[in-house]
Amino acid sequence: GYSEAFLLMAVPYALLRSLDLDRYLALQVTVMLLTVIGFAAMFGLLRRVLRFAKSTALIGAALFVISNMNYIAFVHIQLQFVVVVPMFFLLAALYWENRNSRPVLARVWICTLGILLGLLFTTTFYVAWFLVVCCATEVIFFVACTAISAPRTQVVLEGVRVIRAQAWN
């Protein structure tokens, strides 16, 4: 047995099956839908957050969704959800962008991220834990490198102040 519940994959699959699609076709359409969502999220991340040119963002998003070798094997279909990981970073960036100017919208973005992360844990446990552990490691390294590169602790204290200001969120 798997430790995953396939929850996020079951919703579009069940909807497609209710439209009288064959089970294999419904699965393929579900995977294609995941790929489209992953492509759009990566394009948005590259274009809006990282400020790449449109052509570079299109190529980067296309390479991202076809670089996953799991797309050729359906043994562990839940691992296909790795393509939607950029959506979490995009939601976090949208929260950070709107946290001071539009706090209500920022809360919508961060709540959406939290709900989707919970659903990701019930869908593909490995991808969700890998995402959380990598993000926590990245934050620890960022704080350590910032503390080392800035001999004065003002930069770190400023970061703590910003985080405290967002404590309610």
Q: In whole angstroms, what is the distance from residue 39 CA to residue 67 CA?
A: 12
Q: In whole angstroms, what is the distance from residue 6 CA to residue 27 CA?
A: 12
pLDDT of residue 1: 46
pLDDT of residue 20: 94
pLDDT of residue 125: 84
Tell which residue, 85, 139, 140, has the closest CA to residue 116. 85
pLDDT of residue 41: 94
Q: Tell me the three-class secondary structure of 24-72, residue by residue.
A: HHHHHHHHHHHHHHHHHHHHHHHHHHCCCCHHHHHHHHHHHHHCCHHHH
Show the CA angle centred on residue 118, arms to residues 113 and 120, nearest 5°: 90
pLDDT in tens, the chain (169 residues): 455 667 888 889 999 999 999 998 998 898 889 889 999 999 999 999 999 999 999 999 999 988 766 556 566 777 788 888 999 999 999 999 998 899 899 999 999 999 999 999 888 888 899 999 999 999 888 878 877 776 666 666 777 777 777 776 6
Report yes or no: 81 and 124 within 8 Å, Cβ to Cβ. Answer: yes
Q: In whole angstroms, what is the distance from residue 7 CA to residue 123 CA?
A: 5
pLDDT of residue 131: 92
